[in-house]
Chain A
């Protein structure tokens, strides 16, 4: 396999030298016949862009920095939150509240001062993706939503850069390498994203903290192989990891001649992916503006106090109800909501709630499609309820 870095650098022309500190630091790499001095100099010349400094981006960034990848770019608009630390090992209690890109840069410099870190404290969007990605050799997809995954894929195909893919949910993960010269892309595997609500996010469904460590280190491994041009990558294969049964298996990913990105190449410019996927931001969803038919937590509290005659439906999962609840709510998890609609009375007033207002918005939409007239979404969900009505309710 040929390295993805430039031809001059593949021929070891113009590769940066290692100083004595670096030779000592990378000694175990230099002893590996497949890496050696030239390989380590290639790593030093390499530029890798991480989309996301979260669960997957954390181990990937740490191992790429430790390995001596010369320049690591990090795109992430978030700040470090306490709920991140169960899995995002790049960050720490001491960096709570800091911008993730700053927390990441300081940690990586502490780990390896020879690495240059470039930070982008912005969302990776259609209008900035090409400019950000253009100067990098490999792009690592560690995002947490479908919109950014399709955007990352398409920008990689358009720019001809490998996309080192990883994705996680609960106890399972996936990894592959997309958009290599002859290989398939993410759209060959999943031509379209699911509609909003069909697949819960990790913020809604949970994730085993160790799992991104497994998948992220696989992404780091594949990245280094691409940069060095060694071994066989996961291009054309999808690795499926099931930690509950501890099974690893690979299946084939075929390049689809009808793929609009890498096959027919009908995708020639980037779309606005957030709207196209309709995926709400799990952290910011409770700050979304209210829409027609929403009810505020204060209004709901008044209805409860007045003993109004209405049904309060909670569409979260049972585990979430164990953490925080509003008394009197009937639990119907969103995944079972469609089947349960027949048990609801269209003549009654219904208020639907969830954690942030995103899932309940989908449930309200389903009810209205089925002819329910008097339905409301609790704006901001139980998070907003905790902020404005009952501070004893735990936020999660």
Chain B
């Protein structure tokens, strides 16, 4: 089963307005899922990771319901059917 990547609308506009993308789990990590998404939509790259390829402190990645910051970052292991949800900081009020 593929991995589902949920994008907020602010990022979906850089991915052909798709709010749910599918990725192949065989890479084994959240980082490999992000690689696939960025390969498909290069404009997402600088919004998802910094120049060193690491997550930003203002964009939180969830693997299912858990913050990957406490599960190995982009090295967190993914399995068939997992969901990766990207939650950027927003400030509107």
Contacts and interface: CB of A to CB of B under 8 A. Distances in A.
Given A172-B9, A238-B87, A240-B87, A167 B57 contact: no
A173 to B, nearest CB: 8
Interface in A189-214: 189-194, 198-202, 205, 207, 212
B60 A146 contact: no
A172 B8 contact: yes
Contacts of A56: 93
Interface in A212-262: 212, 238, 240, 242, 244-245, 249-254, 256
A174 interface: yes
A68 interface: no
B90 A199 contact: yes
Interface stretch (A14-22, A111-119, A333-341, A355-363): A333-341
Given A199-B91, A238-B87, A254 B67 contact: yes
Contact residue range for chain B? 20 to 34
B19 interface: yes
Interface stretch (A27-35, A101-109, A137-145, A306-314): A137-145
Contact residue range for chain A? 35 or more
B32 interface: no
B10 interface: yes
A208 B55 CA distance: 29
22 contacts: A55-B92, A57-B93, A142-B93, A145-B91, A166-B93, A167-B93, A169-B8, A169-B10, A172-B8, A172-B10, A190-B57, A190-B89, A191-B57, A194-B56, A194-B88, A194-B89, A207-B92, A250-B65, A251-B87, A256-B69, A336-B43, A338-B46
Interface of B: 8-10, 13-14, 19, 43, 46-47, 56-60, 62, 65-67, 69-70, 85, 87-93
